[in-house]
Every structure is written in C-alpha cells, then in structure tokens.
C-alpha cells in the first residue's frame, strides 16, 4: 500500500512541478478526449449525410431511368429503386449508430480514466 501511495505522491509532485495540479491535468485530458469524440461524431454525421445524398441522387437517377423505359419495366424499376433507397437508408442508419457507439465508448473511456485519477 505504501508503494502505491509513494507513486501517487510522486505523480502529484510532478504535476505540481509543471505548474498543474493533478485535477487540471485530468480535466485537460478529459477535454481533449471530449473534443476528439465531438470531431468523430461530426465526421460520422458528415459521412452519413454524404452517403444519404449520394443515395438520393442514385435513387432519382434510377427512378428517371425506370420512367423512360418500357411500360412493363416500370413496375420492376420502381421496386428496384425502392429497394436501393432502403439499402442506402439502412447504411446511413448503421453509420449513425456506429458513430453514436463510438462516442459512447470514448465517453466511457474518459469517465473511467477520470475516475481512476480522481
């Protein structure tokens, strides 16, 4: 128990020698992790929106192709467009879920590190 206390005291002295308290150092690390998580969410959201926009463009293109094709193909084209649109929506939803899980994981890691140092 004494060795752990000595290491903790030594760590506290190092932080104070650098002009920071242990709490300030933990807070800086927490803020950095939080900013990183926000950046990850923003990138994931941007990626999901980009995929959704691409999907909408592709869906519109396929819809126009279906309208211009033979009348017997209209039913098939419409179902194919609907199927592709659903796939794209599912991809966008999965990307959003993955981003949210990533943020939750980072927040949990930050919380557990902060609790270890508190």
Q: Is 30 exposed, middle or buried (0-12, 13-18, 19+ CB in 10 A)?
A: middle
State how many domains the chain has: 1
Range of the domain at 45: 2-117
Distance CA(33)–CA(31), nearest Å, equals 5
Other Cβ atoms within 10 Å of 37 Cβ, number: 19
Place of tokens 């949210």: 100
Q: Please tell me the predicted confidence (pLDDT) of residue 50.
A: 87
**What sign for the dihedral angle of Cα 88, 90, 92, 95?**
negative
Distance CA(17)–CA(10), nearest Å, equals 10
Residues of the chain with pLDDT under 50: 74
Distance CA(31)–CA(52), nearest Å, equals 31
Q: Please tell me the predicted confidence (pLDDT) of residue 118.
A: 62
Q: Please tell me the predicted confidence (pLDDT) of residue 84.
A: 83
Cβ-contact 33, 117 below 8 angstroms: no
Q: Please tell me the predicted confidence (pLDDT) of residue 77.
A: 59
| Assessment of whether the complete model's pTM goes beyond 0.85 | no
Kindly give, in sequence order, each residue whose CB lies less than 8 Å from that of residue 63, ignoring residues fewer than 6 positions away. 77, 78, 81
């Amino acid at each position: 128990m004494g060795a752990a206390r000595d290491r903790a005291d030594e760590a506290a002295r190092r932080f104070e020698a650098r002009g920071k308290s242990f709490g300030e150092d933990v807070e800086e690390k927490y803020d950095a992790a939080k900013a990183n998580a926000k950046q990850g969410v923003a990138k994931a959201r941007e990626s999901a929106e980009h995929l959704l926009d691409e999907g909408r463009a592709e869906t519109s293109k396929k819809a126009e192709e279906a309208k211009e094709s033979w009348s017997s193909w209209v039913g098939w084209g419409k179902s194919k467009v609907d199927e592709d649109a659903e796939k794209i929506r599912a991809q966008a939803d999965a990307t959003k879920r993955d981003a949210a899980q990533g943020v939750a994981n980072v927040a949990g890691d930050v919380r557990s590190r902060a609790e270890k140092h508190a």
